[in-house]
Amino acid sequence: MIKLGVNTVDLFSGDHIALNIRPDLDELTLVEEVKRTHQELGIDLVELPANLMVICPHLFTSKTISELGKYQASSGVGYTVHLPFRGLDVSSFCRPIAEASVASYKSIISALEESLDVEHYVMHLTEMMLNQVSSKPHLSDSTKQEIISAMYAEAKSNVARILATAPQGKLLLENIKSGWKEPFEIARELDMGICCDIGHLVLAGQDVTQVVEANRELIREFHFHDVIQWTLDDGRSILQDHVALGTGFLDVSSTLDIMLQGGFDGVLMIEVGRWEAAEKSVEVVRNYLRRR
């Protein structure tokens, strides 16, 4: 049976840097948002934004963790954790950044494991470095590919170091910012799981059915959100994800059929930008499950 979750919407899904200048927020704000999300939406899990621990550490302190633990003990809420990606990068050739990234991930996982029962820790293979290499106009395609291959090797090596001390089966790679294919390949090589983000597959132009069916044994969690297409004033079209299910161009029912085929019993995490989108998306998924 799937576990239905929602990320900490509205307050912590935007620009974390801006949160540093908001005097109305404190180390218990996240706890209150978790309670509201869990109680009002009635879901099984809430995704915790560990980005705050490196960007806004005054908002995610040892007291925050302690109170999250107390609420979990009293309510039974489950937690997943999205590990930080602002500034941290396990694919970096800059040794201080790579070493700090590995150390930060290990420290965060260790601190949260002491007080919380965490279902999964989701991480990215890279921040923006791969995209920056791909966009360099003065590099030949072969040179770009050599650099990118080396960055994947660096990322794989550093993920393996984190995996060595992480709790068994909890660390997942997500298909974002690093291409869709390589996270699946590295996860398979390292014998770890995948957080499969459906919206990011769509943005990458991939066939969701083919990717999910080819990698079903790796997938422990789905990030699920709809995608909408906008036409700009100059006639160009762009895609925007993280919108409410049922408001974009995804066929939600058939996509859920694909995701849940074969008795998937992991985490279905609704990952949207605003509270209203979370409410709408939870309703859409629940209606689907009732019909199913």
3-state percent helix, strand, coil for the chain, nearest multiple of 5: 50, 20, 35
- DSSP track, 64-123: HHHHHHHHHHHH--EEEEE---SS--TT-S-HHHHHHHHHHHHHHHHHHHHH--EEEEEE
Report how far residue 222's alpha carbon sits from residue 196's, in angstroms, rounded to the nearest whole number: 5
- Residues forming a β-bridge with 269: 5, 223
Q: Name which of 158, 269, 291 is nearest 222 in CA terms.
A: 269
* Residue extents of the structural domains in the chain: 3-221, 222-292
Which class does domain 3-221 fall in?
alpha beta
pLDDT one-digit tens code per residue, 269-279: 999 988 999 99
Question: What is the pLDDT at residue 9?
Answer: 63
Q: How far apart are CA 19 and CA 25, in angstroms?
A: 8
Which residues of the chain are under the pLDDT cut of 70?
9, 13-15, 128
Q: Label the pairing between strands 171-174 and 78-82.
A: unpaired
Dump pLDDT digits (tens) for 117-165. Answer: 999 999 999 886 777 777 778 888 888 888 888 989 999 999 999 999 9
CB atoms within 10 A of CB 271: 26
